[in-house]
Amino acid sequence: MIPPPPGSFREPPLDSAGPRWEDGNPGARPGRPGPTEEATMRYLLLWHTDETELRERSPEWHEEIAAFLTRFEDELASTSELEWTEVLAPESQAVVVGPGPVARDRDPAVEGKPLGRVWAVRAETRDRVVELASELAGELDAWIEVRAALPGSQRP
């Protein structure tokens, strides 16, 4: 087999945390190093919000937040810290399924404040993740939950 040229993509081994470039960095590009698998941990940043709370915000707030989140996510993507992000449908569209299977509408009194958005990031230190969460919390005027992904779950 002919080895790929320097800086080109190669398929990851099965136990890898994701696609890697020849320099060993997941998501890194030539001239722009990303975090290394060995020195990083995956974290989830979770924003819990509900439809009522968002409806009470002004149109200007929504515009400012959309601009901030675009810039925030672009900066994380450019440093290879952002793996993915999801915006979830409103809780009025959620269904809760229990054993049986029993399905019912979501009850905020039981489940608490719903999850509205998730960011999966890789960072070399917990302090960096707290810094990112703090930036989000300050702009969103909300609490951001930080959860480490267990190492065994960090597979492609």
Supply the CATH number for residue 85's domain: 3.30.70.1060
Band of the pLDDT at 97, cuts 50, 70, 90? confident
Residue 3 lies in a domain: no
**Residue 122 forms part of a structural domain:** yes
Q: What 8-state DSSP symbol labels residue 90?
A: P
Total structural domains within the chain = 1
Task: State the Cα angle at 150 between 15 and 96, rounded to 5°.
Answer: 115
* pLDDT band, residue 113 (cuts 50/70/90): confident
Look at 29-33, 85-89, 128-132 and tell me which has the smallest mean pLDDT: 29-33
The letter for the amino acid at 104 is: R
Task: Give the pLDDT of residue 155.
Answer: 63
**Helix H or strand E segment including 123:** strand 115-123
* Cα 131–Cα 137–Cα 139 angle in degrees, nearest 5: 105
Residue found under tokens 């081994």? 13
Give the predicted TM-score (pTM) of the model.
0.68
Alpha carbons 34 and 26: distance in angstroms, whole number? 7
Residue 104, classified by CB atoms within 10 Å of its CB into exposed (0-12), middle (13-18) or buried (19+), is exposed
Structure tokens at 18: 């994701």
For residue 18, being part of any structural domain is answered with no
Q: What is the largest CA-CA distance in the chain?
A: 60
Q: What tokens does 105 get?
A: 């509408």
Domain that holds residue 74: 38-93+104-151
